[in-house]
Amino acid sequence: MVGIVIVSHSWKIAEGVRDLAREMAQNFTGLLCAGGLGDGSIGTDAQRIADAILEADSGDGVVIMADIGSSIMSAESAIELLEEDGHEVNAVIADAPIVEGSICAVVEAAGGGDLDSVLKSAEESREASKL
Amino acid sequence: MRKMPSRIYECLSRIGESIIANKDFLTELDREIGDSDHGINMARGFHAVLEKTDPETQDIGAVLKKAGMTLLSTVGGASGPLYGTAYMEAGKVLAGKSELTAEDMKAVLEAAIAGIQKRGKAVKGEKTMLDAIIPASETYAQKIAEGADMVSALEAACESAREGVEYTKTIIATKGRASYLGERSIGHQDPGATSATLTLEAIRDFLKG
């Protein structure tokens, strides 16, 4: 099953998005979050993200849902850290809004979708009109 | 060719001391055009780097790699992955080395810039740290090619970096948090270009002894 990692500068946002998305698939265990720094302050931590990716991966790859700015750069750094350590994890970053995208990704992943379909599902949420 | 013994911990300490001493100044610059955290973030990162670096380690590459990984985990803002990648890429160039030639320093600057560009997908002229370190690296390479030693080439490079910081006052930010301000970012110097210049100046001062 494809894993999903929620990355935010704020651990409250990351955990909140995770909790919201998990309502859609309560038995889905591949949903992790990596929010804020180790001391709880605002920021992103590539090592925390790398740890979450490893934990989320069950062999079918991981989709990363990220918020703004350094979330993307830290997620990219995390993927490189794992590669340099010799881990073979297929992790991709979704170009999608973090709340809507995470919900779509979780539904698709919990339904057994593969990495491409989970990524596509997350990214299609960009086009969803609210009004 | 002039060589530097592995006093990499001492060199990192000088960089860290400068960043920490300028914490409020960097944060103030970031308050003008960003999210008011550059100095705080960088100071937190360098406190962690100095705490986690073994002063006895001779392998400059290993120390820089570790410093980069620490910055990735502790800085928090965009400067974390940017400086973290820069230090890690510089570490790759110096893997296994315990001394540094003028040519090595050129390779370090170029690897750091390549790392920052890979991570930040920025080019010169976007009001970022690249506007200080690209001209500094170019000046350094030119001076070395002309036969200058490491210290005098770095002195010239630091002047170019300072000019680069001044240049960032004249341009619009198109990357990072400052890009939300558009034209209102003109008139303010870039915090990242400033901390990059402080870094180069600390290395220069360290080498001058």
Q: Which domains does chain A have, with CATH numbers?
A: 3-127 (3.40.50.510)
CA dist A125 → A5, A31, A82, A112, B201 (Å)? 17, 18, 28, 18, 47
The Cα–Cα gap between B95 and A22 comes to 44
Homologous superfamily of the B8-208 domain (CATH): DhaL domain (1.25.40.340)
Give me the active site residues of A, please.
9
**A93 strand-pairing partners:** A64
- In this prediction the pTM is 0.93
**Which residue numbers of A have CB closer than 8 Å to B's CBs?**
9, 37-38, 41-48, 69-70, 73-74, 76-77, 81
Handedness of CA A8, A10, A15, A17 (dihedral sign): negative
Cβ within 8 Å, pair A77-B85? yes
Cβ within 8 Å, pair B77-A48? no
Cβ within 8 Å, pair A45-B120? no
The Cα–Cα gap between B144 and B122 comes to 26
What is the arithmetic mean of pLDDT over B36-65? 95
Torsion of CA A46, B197, B20, B14, to 10 degrees: 100
When pLDDT is cut at 50, 70 and 90, the band that residue B4 belongs to is very low
Cβ within 8 Å, pair B76-A76? no
Which chain A residue has the Cα nearest residue B86?
A77
Selected residue of A44, A49, A79 to mutate for chain B interface (largest B Cβ count, 10 A): A44
Q: Which single residue is written with the structure tokens 């001492």?
A: B10
The Cα–Cα gap between B204 and B197 comes to 10
Residues of A in contact with B191 (CB under 8 A): none
When pLDDT is cut at 50, 70 and 90, the band that residue B52 belongs to is very high
Cβ within 8 Å, pair B80-A74? yes
pLDDT at residue B5 tops 50: no
Residues of A in contact with B37 (CB under 8 A): 42
What is the arithmetic mean of pLDDT over A59-79? 96
Residue A31 backbone dihedrals phi, psi, to 5 degrees = -105, 110
- Smallest Cα–Cα separation from B134: which of B92, B95, B96, B163? B163
Instruction: Tell me the per-residue pLDDT of B159-196, one tens digit each, with 9 for 90 and over.
Output: 999 999 999 999 999 998 899 999 999 999 999 999 99
When pLDDT is cut at 50, 70 and 90, the band that residue B2 belongs to is very low
Which chain A residue has the Cα nearest residue B71?
A45
Mean pLDDT score across all residues of chain B: 95
The Cα–Cα gap between A123 and B13 comes to 44
Chain A closest-CA separation from residue B37 CA (Å): 10
Contacts of A44 (CB under 8 A, 6+ apart): A7, A8, A9, A34, A36, A37, A70, A71, A73, A74, A75, B76, B80, B81
Residues of B in contact with A73 (CB under 8 A): 78, 80-82, 119-120
Residues of A in contact with B85 (CB under 8 A): 77
Question: Which two three-digit tokens encode residue A78?
Answer: 């995390």
Cβ within 8 Å, pair B76-A48? no
When pLDDT is cut at 50, 70 and 90, the band that residue B1 belongs to is very low
Selected residue of A37, A47, A64, A77 to mutate for chain B interface (largest B Cβ count, 10 A): A77
Instruction: Tell me the per-residue pLDDT of A96-111, one tens digit each, with 9 for 90 and over.
Output: 999 999 999 999 999 9
Handedness of CA B54, B59, B64, B70 (dihedral sign): negative
Selected residue of B33, B38, B73 to mutate for chain A interface (largest A Cβ count, 10 A): B73
Cβ within 8 Å, pair A47-B119? no
Cβ within 8 Å, pair A42-B76? yes
Helices (H), A1-131: 11-22, 46-56, 70-84, 98-110, 115-124
